[in-house]
Structure 1
Amino acid sequence: MKPSHIEHIGIAVKSLDAAIPFYEKAFGLECYAIEEVPEQKVKTAFFMVGQTKIELLESTDPEGPVGKFIEKKGEGVHHVAFAVENLAEKLVSIQEAGVQVIDKTPRKGAEGLNIGFLHPKSTFGVLTELCEDPSK
């Protein structure tokens, strides 16, 4: 597998209302999209930095994955996402290579991307997401 680029870096925050102005003022970035992903119990906000996005993640449920992450570790980097083609095939081949996955098959994520997460136990402690844009 060879990703084409880092698609985004996910950062868990307690409040998008507090975090968005920081990224806008401190870095001069523009929040171009805010989206709720009910299946993942999260609300997201996106910024472009070159070809890479910053995705802020606010939990909509304390029992959701981001809510639990913030409770355990506090705010901060939640995951790194790589852009790939043929995500379903990549998830199969990475499992065959012995990597533990959270998603055995692709699921829908923010911005209409197909996503699949790799377990941090297999990725040196970093929650890793693979993303595919189905429109390409």
Structure 2
Amino acid sequence: MFMRIDHIGIACHDLEEKIALFSGLFELEVVAREVNEEQGVKEAMLRIADADGGGSYIQLLEPLSPDSPVGKFLAKRGEGVHHVAFGVPDVSEAMSKIGGKGVRLLDESPRHGSMGSQIAFLHPKDVGGMLTELVQAAKS
């Protein structure tokens, strides 16, 4: 079902500071920046590598407000890994298969994600405490 690790989402207080850290330390290139009002974040995608079905990235997330999901995460846990995202060929199909195994879906249907992708999240309590995202990369 999974084709690759699409990205690791990292919550941070200062997006520009973390871009400088990750790009300087690991020589990663920023390939996309977005403001996602629906999810309440400013984000940057830093490419790690290209792979079949899409690339692998570090996604840096700065909350737009303290009451956004990432803002609440930062207040409770501080900066660090927020979620792991797995690349899938068809996010709707993956949602159906995983949901059919009793895992609660946080999204009823796929929604807009970074760089034109389609995404859905799985409930962390049903996946060993890890917020898990399914990502269908945008068609090139």
Structure 1-normalised TM-score?
0.94
The structural deviation recorded for 1:27 is: 1.2
Displacement after TM superposition at 1:70 (Å): 0.4
TM-score scaled by structure 2?
0.92
Greater than 4 Å deviation, 4+ residue runs:
none
What CA distance in whole angstroms lies between the structure 2 residues aligned with 1:66 and 1:106?
19
Percent identical among aligned pairs is: 44
CA contact (8 A) 1:35 1:44 kept: yes
Residue pair 1:92, 1:104 contacting (<8 A) in 2 also:
no
Q: Which residue of structure 2 aligns with residue 39 of structure 1?
A: 38
- Superposition pairs for residues 90-105 of structure 1, below 5 Å? 90-105=94-109
Q: Alpha-carbon deviation of 1:81?
A: 0.3
Give the structure 1 partner of residue 53 of structure 2: none
Query: Does the aligned pair in 2 maintain the 1:117–1:130 contact within 8 Å?
Result: yes
Which deviations, in whole Å up to 9, do the C-alpha atoms of 1:39-81 show, x marking residues without a partner?
A: 1000111111123100000000111110010011100000000
**Aligned equivalent of 2:17:** 18
Q: Residue by residue, what CA displacement relative to the aligned partner does 1:89-131 show, whole Å, maximum 9, x if unpaired? A: 2112211111111112101111111000001001101100000
**Pick from 37, 56, 63: which aligns with 1:59?**
63
Tell me the distance in 2 between the aligned counterparts of 1:72 and 1:113. 28
Q: Structure 1 stretches of 5 or more lacking a match?
A: none
d(CA) in 1 for partners of 2:109, 2:83: 18
* Shift of residue 134, structure 1, vs aligned partner: 4.0
Q: 1:82 matched to which residue of 2?
A: 86
Other structure's SS at 2:28 match: coil
Cα displacement (A) at 1:133: 2.0
- Aligned counterpart for 1:133 among listed residues 123, 137, 140: 137
Amino acid at match of 1:31: V
Conserved? CA contact 1:13–1:76, under 8 Å: yes
For the pair 1:8 / 2:12, whether they are aligned, the reply is no
What residue number does 1:50 align with? 49
Query: Tell me, which stretches of 5 or more residues in structure 2 are unaligned?
Result: 51-55
Aligned AA (2:23)? E
